Structures are given as structure tokens and as C-alpha cells.
Structure 1
Amino acid sequence: MKPYLMAEPALRRLELTITRRLDGLLQGEHLGLVPGPGSEPAESRPYRPGDDVRRMDWNVTARTNEPHVRDLVADRELEIWALLDATASMDFGTVAMEKRELALSALAAIGFLTQRTGNRIGVHLLHGGGVRTLPARTGRPHLMALLQAAFALPRTQPGVSEPLIGVAADQLGRTARRRGLVVVLSDFLDPPPTWEQPLRALAARHQLLAVEVVDPRELSLPDVGILTLIDPETGRRREVATGSARLRRRYAEAAAGQRDAVTQGLRRAGAAHLRLRTDRDWVRDLARHVMRQRRLAALATGPARQGRPPEGGGDAA
């Protein structure tokens, strides 16, 4: 069967699951995926303790001889770019789904929720054949076409040279010229020094969300006797005796160190970090992340609203 014929019913079921569940978990039309009230400059006002000094309006400060900051307002139309890692390491999963399926589901959730308000979404697909760019446009038909293109990507054959996630992020930075939201969905197994700087460059201009996808077998090794391991990117095989408690402990320690390096690298890059696992309820984890970022955004804008009358002139609810 042709890939797009298989994708259509699968994506419709995914859309139904996402919209039903997230509509029940989240309230409101705007999806606060990362902290911050917006990216478009608004009017200046006097500085108050707690304001972000990065929003200082130096021109007004120089004219009035009093510190001023410039508020930010949320964009009515947001441009969203996603970088979906579909390399060989993502074709792995031991529980409910593969990592690539989980990343695609997360991309679909972000797309279905943000396209309601007329936002544009585009995607870079990182695959064994290189990086494929699909331009940012509005509307559900466009979103479904993006997801179908991602769904139809074939598996990469072992030994095929693949671009690094950092190379794809650098290319995305040259494509996404308008300020907006950038979402990177990957297992981030490439060494952090190869992607940290490109992500930092994206975060300097855009709101950046890094969605890390993880399978539990990447974190701990079960005792299942002799296990044949295959590197999906090189095709190399190795037999491992999992009955060794020392081996399982060393594996868990190395895995924990790798995940910590990813966390620290994303923090240094300035990205909001969401970790999704193939053995967890990823929809609920996504909703919790959104609610947590909304609370952070509310705290960030709190000082700016102190001393202001409520909108509409009435009493605050």
C-alpha cells in the first residue's frame, strides 16, 4: 500500500486522540509551549524591580534619564518551525511505540493545537537522505500534508551516512527568518558539542522547545540472558551477557550520564526541555509541560502588571 494511503487513517485517529485528550486537559486556545509573553515589542514603561533587564529600552531611558523597559505582546499569528529527527537511531522502541512514532505524534499534537488560530507551520525532516524542507503555511490540509510526508519517510539502511542534528539546526536557522517558535524533536544522541551552538543560535532569535524522546531500554538493561545488540546507524552487531549485574550497573550509569549531558547541553543552549518516553502517557506529559510553562509565563509577566488597572476597567476576577 502507498505510504500516503496508510498515513491518512492513522493520522485521523491520532488527531482524534490528541484533540479529545488535550482539550480535556488544557483550557484556552493558545498553547504556551515555552515561557514568555511573546516576541513582538509593545510600549515602553518605567522599570520595576523584577523586570527582565534584557528588555531595557535604552532610547527612552536616555531621553527620560529614567530606566524604561519595553513590554512584549504575544503574536496573533505565530510562525512555527519543527525539526523532526528521523535518522536510524529513532527507529527504535521496545514498549508502546518507536521513538520516531513518538516524535511524530508530538509534532502532530503541536500542529493540531497551534493551527486553530491561523498559525503557520513548516518542518525540516532530517533523514538518511539529508534534510528535506517543507515551507510554513496555514491550514489543516497543509498540516496533514506535512505529517503525511513525515509518516512516509522510509527507514535508513545501516551504514548510510546521515547529517548531524546540529547541521540540520544550523540550516533551519537560515530558513526561519521571522521570529517565532522552533521545536526540535530528537533523541539528541549526537554528542552535545555538535548541536549545542546551533541550538543556542536558534534560541537567540526564536522561542525554542527541545522535545527529547527516550525509550526505557536506553536507560537500563534487563536481565534476559545473551542479547544481540545492533547499532542502527552502522549495522554493527555485538552479543552481550545481560546476566552480569556489574554490566547492567555500568550500562545504567553510562546512560544516566548521557541523559544528564543532554539536559545540561539543552539548558546551556537556552531551550525549554520536554522529555517524552515511549513507556509513558506522552499526551499527559505534554499537557503538564504546557501548564508548567503557562505558570512560568504568568510569573514572568506578573511584575509588569503590578499597579495597572484590570483590562476593561472592571474588577479583576
Structure 2
Amino acid sequence: MEAQDLLKKVRKIEIHSRGLSNNIFAGQYHSAFKGRGMAFSEVRAYQYGDDVRDIDWNVTARMNSPYVKVYEEERELTVMLLIDVSASLDFGTRMQTKRDKATEIAATLAFSAIQNNDKIGVVFFSDKIEKYIPPKKGRKHILYIIHEMLDFHPESKRTDISCALQFLYSAVKHRCTAFILSDFYYRGDYEKQMIVCCKKHDVVAIQLYDQFARELPDVGLIKICDAETSHEMYIDTSDKKLRQAHRQYWQERRASLDRLFSKTNTDNISIATNEDYVKSLIQLFKLRS
């Protein structure tokens, strides 16, 4: 992409994303995420009705009477975007690819974060950590992130979600809110990494998909290619059994993700490349409020 065209695209995404974060998501972001970060403030004497789980047993032992920990909302959060940059994200049969959609959503989340005085960082991952942008504040930082999302060229085509989760756990020391933006086309097992990561961080999953991944159209004989392995083959989409098998495969994949997200208590949404992601984000924010 030429430098001038890239700058125009960055500017276009900035205008659109800032408008959404200012006019639509400002209050909803705060209620959905700021309330989840609680920091220890002080201890005070136990009062009737206090949650016994908040009792500070060390202070209670010293004072010979029960004391509870008091928490207050953290005024500043760290937001991490874990962005899948594997080759499968370059697929799209309508106006946008999955990567285009991920870029817009990530930019909107980033502007919502800095509007609430939060730091924003990014991890680009394939089957390895391709690039890490440490959390910072400010418009200049977000424009750099958008620029990288538009013009980044990963070294690997494949996906490994477990490596991204492991990196997040080790690189970000304090609790953060982490958004995973991926199509989740990964056949490996990452349940253990997800469980461990969710105990430390507030993890939100955003699945991006093309509508043809869910429902194969009847368009006759076509050549398909696995973007991550470069394997090519011809399939006859007029075959009803083939389309049914494809639909069943999608449903099984989605059911598997639902089980994982339910087990790890991970909030999640699925967004198609031809859908308005604003409605989906509003739904997510309301779910968490």
C-alpha cells in the first residue's frame, strides 16, 4: 500500500472510530469495563451485612475483632488487543475481509479506552508473537496502532492462540482487559492457557467470520485454498450433502467455542464481515453492564 493511500485509510478509520467511541460507546464502555477493575483501598471494622469473603484475617487477628477489605474502582485500566494476523484473516467474500473488520473494531475499542483514560496495548500473533506494542495513552499511540494493523506483514501464515495467551499472561503483570480478535480457526488445544489467563485477566473473545464459513452458497464447482497451508482443492457446491456437511462443521466449531467460553466464563460475540459490528459491541457492553 502506497504511503499516501495508507495515511488516507488511517485517517478514515480514525474519524469513523472516534465518532463511534464519542457518540455511542462513551458511557457504555465505562460501565462495561471500568466497574470490573477493583483495587484495594483500606480496611475498616466489620459491619453487619458485609461479605465474609472480604474479611482481612491478618488484621482481624492483630485487632482481635473482624476487619474487612474495602475496594474502590480503578480509575485507570490497561486494555490489550490480541489481534490474529494469520493468513485466514485475509479472507472475505463481501465488502470486507476479516482483517479489515478486525481493524475497525480494534480502533473503536482503542479510542473508547483512551477516552476513559485507559492505556492500550497490542499483540499481533500468528503461530508466534509477531509484534508487541506496549500499553500507552494518547491519540498518537492509537494512530500508530491503526497504521500497523493496516500495513503489518506477518512472518507466519498459521495460527496458535495458545502462544498469544501465554504471552499475555507473562508480559502483562497486572490485571487487564484483553480482547482477542480472531476467526478462531485453530485446531490445537488452548483450554489450559485460556483458563489460566482468565484467572488473571478479564478476557473478551470477538470471533470474526465470513458468512460463507457458516453457509456455503450453491455456485457450482469452485476452487478453494487453505490460506494457512496453501492446500488447494476443487469442490462442487451444488452438492446438497456437501453443503450440509459444511454447515454441520460450522455448528460443531461454534458449539466447541461456546463450551470453552462458558467453562472459562469468557464474554464473547461473533461478528460477520457483512454485519454492522456496532450493534454487536453494544450487545456485548450491555451484557457486561
**AA partner of residue 76 (structure 1):** R
Structure 1 CA distance, aligned partners of 2:26 and 2:79? 21
Cα distance change, pair 273–151 in 1 and its aligned pair in 2 (3 A): same
What is the root-mean-square deviation in Å for CA atoms of aligned residues?
2.7
Cα distance change, pair 108–46 in 1 and its aligned pair in 2 (3 A): farther
Structure 2 CA distance, aligned partners of 1:243 and 1:32? 48
Match of 1:85 in 2: 84
Task: Tell me the number of residue pairs that the alignment of Structure 1 and Structure 2 aligns.
Answer: 286
Written as runs of structure 1 = structure 2, the 5 A alignment for 1:1-317 is 1-2=1-2, 5-26=4-25, 28=27, 30-34=29-33, 36-43=35-42, 46=47, 48=49, 53=53, 57-59=56-58, 70-127=69-126, 130-154=129-153, 162=158, 164-191=160-187, 193=189, 195-294=190-289
* Between 35-44 and 219-228, the greater mean CA deviation after superposition: 35-44
Structure 2 CA distance, aligned partners of 1:162 and 1:182? 21
**AA partner of residue 79 (structure 1):** T
* Between 37-46 and 165-174, the greater mean CA deviation after superposition: 37-46
SS at match of 1:31: helix
**AA partner of residue 165 (structure 1):** I
| TM-score, normalised by the number of residues in structure 1 | 0.80
TM superposition shift of 1:203: 1.4
Structure 1 CA distance, aligned partners of 2:199 and 2:128? 29
Cα distance change, pair 8–161 in 1 and its aligned pair in 2 (3 A): closer
TM superposition shift of 1:177: 0.6
C-alpha contact 1:84 1:185 (8 A) present in aligned 2: yes
C-alpha contact 2:42 2:69 (8 A) present in aligned 1: yes
Structure 2 CA distance, aligned partners of 1:213 and 1:22? 20
Unaligned runs of 5+ in 2: none
Structure 2 CA distance, aligned partners of 1:11 and 1:109? 13
C-alpha contact 2:225 2:233 (8 A) present in aligned 1: yes
Cα distance change, pair 256–35 in 1 and its aligned pair in 2 (3 A): farther
**AA partner of residue 162 (structure 2):** G
Structure 2 CA distance, aligned partners of 1:242 and 1:52? 61
Q: Which structure has more RCO (C-alpha within 8 Å, separation ≥ 6)?
A: 1
Structure 1 CA distance, aligned partners of 2:25 and 2:75? 19
Task: Report % sequence identity.
Answer: 23
TM superposition shift of 1:215: 1.3
SS at match of 1:81: strand
TM superposition shift of 1:39: 2.7
C-alpha contact 2:84 2:126 (8 A) present in aligned 1: yes
TM superposition shift of 1:174: 0.9
**AA partner of residue 187 (structure 2):** P
Cα distance change, pair 111–26 in 1 and its aligned pair in 2 (3 A): closer
SS at match of 1:28: helix
Structure 2 CA distance, aligned partners of 1:121 and 1:110? 9
Structure 1 CA distance, aligned partners of 2:7 and 2:182? 24
TM superposition shift of 1:267: 2.3
Cα distance change, pair 228–46 in 1 and its aligned pair in 2 (3 A): farther
C-alpha contact 2:127 2:163 (8 A) present in aligned 1: no
TM superposition shift of 1:70: 4.0
Cα distance change, pair 244–136 in 1 and its aligned pair in 2 (3 A): same
TM superposition shift of 1:139: 0.9
Cα distance change, pair 105–270 in 1 and its aligned pair in 2 (3 A): same
Cα distance change, pair 48–91 in 1 and its aligned pair in 2 (3 A): farther
Unaligned runs of 5+ in 1: 295-317
TM superposition shift of 1:30: 4.7
Structure 1 CA distance, aligned partners of 2:166 and 2:267? 18
Cα distance change, pair 74–203 in 1 and its aligned pair in 2 (3 A): same
| TM-score, normalised by the number of residues in structure 2 | 0.87
TM superposition shift of 1:71: 4.8
